[in-house]
């Protein structure tokens, strides 16, 4: 089932302020708040992946009487203010970049002419993130930390006057055979300007034939292109569970790269990028993969979305400047 989470920091802060007014009596609202709650661990420190703690609201009664102990009043005030700051910080995290480097020798993913033309014309841009559980966001601690929502926040920050929608059409457990069955209704019928298709991981884990998967993906890309959308493919993730099937994973990534070359669409080689994090940048796997050995953590999704967003912005910028970007030039492919 498709889902779409628009997050606007200003709206959230307004709602938080209103909530604070309900928790704190008027006579205490002017008091100074205690130090703000700590930052979201997974986004401020790659070595941690914990969701923000929640403080329970007071349940001593429907209202606070005037003769309540001042110390108790101060404690209630502090808890309410801390809660507001915690919610605001969580919302603000989607607008923050994580300390994340691209792999060496990165290149443009190629041409995204429809997205660029829509932005130049000031028209709304619709992006569909199509895929399985890592698109849906399994492993993230909150909806705003899935890769589609982090990507949406980044693009809206880059193009503040643009109307940009990112639809999450991820469904856990699926691969090309299941995705092709809902390609029309979940993707093409939405008339997207860009389709980001994450595929191949479950095919590797289920020991499906990589060649058959590649043929289905090529057919799907052709249908998406015929509908007029730009396309970017995303290959499997580098993780312990996938690496148990190293031969199949290697063949899958090569075949998806070949599909991108033949159909002249972009590709974000997630497997190579994540491998670079571990082997070249010395980032422990547990920093970007959760304990199941398969799905990405908040930090992993954040870095992935950030690098993908950087490439989309770069490609759109080149087209807007009139630079001829060959469509078969793909991101992060080694020379």
Q: Token pair for residue 266?
A: 């972009």
- pLDDT per residue as tens digits for the range 81-124: 665 555 444 445 555 788 888 777 666 677 799 999 999 889 99
- pLDDT per residue as tens digits for the range 230-247: 999 999 999 999 999 999
Q: What is the dihedral of CA 322, 325, 331, 334, to 10 degrees?
A: -130
Residues 6 or more apart in contact with residue 108 via CB below 8 angstroms = 311, 314, 315, 318, 325, 329, 331
Phi, psi torsion values for 184, nearest 5 degrees: -65, -50
Name the pLDDT band for 198 (thresholds 50, 70, 90): very high
Q: Are 18 and 29 in contact (CB under 8 A)?
A: no
pLDDT, average across residues 30-43:
36
- pLDDT per residue as tens digits for the range 262-276: 999 999 999 999 999
**E strands of the chain, at which residues?**
125-131, 164-170, 194-198, 230-234, 266-268
Name the pLDDT band for 10 (thresholds 50, 70, 90): very low
What CATH number does the domain located at 113-320 have?
3.40.50.1110
- pLDDT per residue as tens digits for the range 66-81: 444 555 555 766 666 6
Listed in order, the ranges of the chain carrying CATH 3.40.50.1110 are 113-320
User: Checking DSSP bridges between strand 194-198 and strand 125-131, what pairing results, if any?
Assistant: parallel
CA 21 to chain centre: 33
Quote the pTM value: 0.70
pLDDT of res. 325: 43
């Amino acid at each position: 089932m498709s889902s779409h989470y628009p997050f606007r920091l200003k709206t959230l802060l307004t709602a938080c302020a209103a909530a604070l007014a309900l928790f704190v009596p008027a006579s205490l609202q002017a008091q100074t708040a205690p130090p703000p709650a700590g930052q979201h661990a997974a986004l401020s420190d790659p070595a941690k992946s914990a969701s923000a703690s929640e403080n329970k609201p007071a349940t001593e009664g429907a209202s606070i009487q005037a003769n309540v102990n001042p110390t108790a009043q101060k404690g209630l005030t502090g808890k309410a203010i801390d809660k507001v700051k915690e919610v605001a910080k969580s919302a603000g995290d989607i607008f923050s970049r994580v300390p994340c480097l691209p792999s060496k020798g990165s290149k443009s993913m190629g041409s995204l002419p429809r997205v660029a033309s829509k932005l130049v014309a000031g028209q709304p841009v619709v992006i569909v993130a199509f895929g399985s559980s890592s698109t849906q966001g399994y492993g993230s601690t909150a909806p705003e930390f899935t890769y589609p929502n982090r990507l949406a926040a980044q693009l809206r920050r880059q193009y503040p006057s643009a109307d940009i929608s990112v639809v999450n059409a991820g469904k856990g457990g699926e691969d090309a055979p299941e995705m092709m069955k809902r390609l029309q209704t979940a993707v093409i019928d939405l008339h997207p300007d860009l389709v980001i298709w994450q595929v191949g991981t479950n095919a590797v884990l289920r020991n499906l034939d990589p060649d058959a998967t590649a043929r289905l993906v090529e057919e799907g890309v052709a249908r998406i292109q015929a509908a007029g959308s730009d396309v970017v493919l995303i290959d499997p993730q580098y993780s312990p569970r996938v690496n148990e099937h190293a031969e199949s994973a290697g063949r899958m990534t090569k075949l998806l790269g070949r599909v991108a070359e033949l159909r002249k669409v972009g590709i974000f080689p997630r497997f190579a990028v994540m491998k670079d994090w571990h082997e070249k940048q010395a980032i422990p796997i547990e920093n970007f993969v959760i304990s199941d050995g398969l799905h990405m953590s908040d930090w992993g999704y954040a870095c992935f979305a950030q690098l993908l967003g950087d490439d989309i912005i770069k490609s759109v910028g080149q087209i807007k400047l009139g630079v001829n970007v060959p469509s078969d030039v793909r991101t992060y492919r080694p020379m």
